């Protein structure tokens, strides 16, 4: 079998142990394996960002440290580093330097854990943590670039695969309770439904949708961008990290189900992906509001509405995260097909001499009108324009 060059890139706070015995087992299968070290994300250098690590990756590639094209296996934050690198250094329709891009528990839309990490009173790579927050401006910008350019399908030779555990498991939950009581903080991410104990499945999923609504524009008239077709493989007994249940850290033998999928993908013998109805029943919705000039509105309030009272039994808002100009909502659905209508409207707001008018109604799901923007197990991006009025006291003309 011809040797394939495989690169490994771990995530925030990761190490060689992240991959378990995966590199060793691939070597036994005849692969040429190289671990790529861009520096540890938890070192005290808070000046380094995701884009800085992308610059470091480009330097390593140009330094002929490995052959192009190559295959890459990433964990968690490594997905953002690689995607940033592709966005900055390669045009959307250019030949890809990567053949197989295997993402294990990728942080494509951040983690709720990042906000907690920011509370720790020492340097933990805060620029990276800022990017890893739910609904961060960084992931919003990166994901929109991928949505509009369709890099996942336009880059010649690039194949992307997503491996995800859905086991919410932490080895020592009592330690979290001790930390909660000692420091007066809450660490709910380890108990969050639909999560691998660090990243929500829908936040990891690169198959996503986005829409930008101009003033007065309705969903049926808007251009909806979507990434779709990336194979997803679910492992119910795998969590984000650890040598017992970790999606990569637990790999110790070749019969491990995660190893078998990776091996087959690298050999171009990919098994069929999981169907969408097997995904955890959760979605994310990121809302960004701008004025008529495109400037962000930070103090907006979305009001959600339903078609009828019974709709609330089938879709529920579990969590809201505010991140500057973007709000992130975590939604649980029981049966999306039974929801008659669901959407939101941005309320009007007056701040000093500035008044923001309310937005139009944004219908996210209204099957009777053919509106089915929401999709199971995905992250959705919605940008809304509201009219901003500055009162006459701020500026006026007078006769000289």
- Range with the poorest average pLDDT among 194-198, 342-346, 357-361: 194-198
Are 95 and 67 contacting, i.e. CB atoms less than 8 angstroms apart?
no
Residue 397 lies in a domain: no
Q: By three-state DSSP, how is residue 5 classified?
A: strand
Residue 214 shares a structural domain with residue 286: no
Q: What's the N-to-C CA distance of the chain in angstroms?
A: 87
Residue 249 shares a structural domain with residue 342: no
Residue 399 lies in a domain: no
CATH of the domain at 149: 3.40.50.1820
Chain segment 191-212, per-residue pLDDT in tens: 688 999 899 999 999 999 999 9
pLDDT at site 342: 98
Residue 210 shares a structural domain with residue 298: no
Residue 255 shares a structural domain with residue 137: yes
* Strand ranges of the sheet holding 388-390, from the earlier edge strand across to the other edge: 349-351, 354-356, 388-390
Domain boundary among 278, 308, 323: 278
Residue 144 lies in a domain: yes
Residue 272 shares a structural domain with residue 373: no
Residue 293 shares a structural domain with residue 192: no
Domain boundary among 212, 245, 278: 278
Cα–chain center distance at 388: 31
Say which residue the tokens 């993402």 belong to: 103
pLDDT at site 184: 57
Residue 398 lies in a domain: no
* Domain span holding position 59: 5-278
Q: Give CA–CA dist 143/259, Å, rounded.
A: 28
Residue 193 lies in a domain: yes
Residue 115 shares a structural domain with residue 194: yes
Residue 351: which pLDDT band, with cuts at 50, 70 and 90? confident
Q: How many domains does the chain have?
A: 2
Global confidence as pTM? 0.91
pLDDT at site 341: 97
pLDDT at site 172: 47
Residue 235 shares a structural domain with residue 295: no
């Amino acid at each position: 079998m011809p040797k394939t060059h495989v690169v490994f890139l771990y995530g925030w706070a990761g190490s060689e142990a992240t991959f378990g015995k995966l590199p060793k087992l691939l070597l036994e299968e005849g692969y040429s394996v190289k671990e790529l070290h861009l520096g540890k994300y938890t070192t005290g250098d808070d000046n380094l960002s995701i884009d800085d690590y992308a610059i470091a990756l480009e330097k390593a590639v140009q330094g002929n440290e490995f052959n192009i094209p190559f295959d890459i296996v990433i964990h968690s934050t490594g997905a953002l580093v690689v995607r940033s690198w592709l966005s900055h250094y390669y045009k959307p329709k250019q030949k890809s330097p990567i053949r197989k891009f295997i993402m294990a528990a990728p942080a494509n839309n951040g983690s709720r854990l990042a906000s907690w990490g920011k509370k720790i009173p020492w340097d933990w790579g805060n620029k990276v943590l800022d990017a890893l927050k739910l609904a961060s401006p960084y992931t919003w910008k990166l994901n929109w670039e991928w949505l509009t350019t369709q890099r996942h399908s336009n880059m010649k030779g690039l194949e992307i695969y997503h491996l995800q555990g859905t086991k919410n498991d932490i080895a020592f939950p009592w330690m979290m309770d001790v930390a909660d009581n000692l420091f007066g903080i809450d660490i709910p991410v380890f108990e969050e439904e639909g999560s691998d104990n660090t990243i929500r499945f829908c936040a990891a999923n690169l198959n996503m949708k986005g829409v930008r609504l101009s003033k007065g524009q309705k969903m049926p008239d808007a251009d909806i961008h979507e990434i779709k077709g990336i194979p997803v493989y679910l492992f119910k007994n795998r969590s984000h990290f650890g040598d017992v249940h970790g999606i990569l850290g637990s790999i110790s033998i070749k019969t491990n189900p995660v190893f078998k999928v990776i091996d087959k993908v690298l050999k171009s013998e990919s098994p069929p992906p999981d169907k969408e109805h097997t995904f955890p029943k959760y979605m994310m919705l990121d809302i960004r509001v701008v004025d008529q000039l495109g400037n962000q509105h930070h103090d907006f309030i979305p009001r959600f509405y339903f078609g009828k009272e019974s709709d609330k039994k089938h879709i529920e808002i579990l969590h809201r995260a505010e991140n500057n100009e973007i709000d992130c909502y975590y939604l649980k659905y029981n049966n999306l097909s039974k929801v008659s209508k669901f959407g939101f409207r941005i309320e009007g707001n007056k701040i000093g001499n500035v008044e923001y008018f309310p937005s139009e109604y944004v219908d996210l799901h209204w099957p009777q009108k053919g509106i089915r923007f929401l999709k199971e197990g995905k992250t959705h991006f919605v940008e809304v324009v509201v009219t901003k009025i500055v009162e006459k006291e701020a500026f006026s003309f007078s006769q000289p």
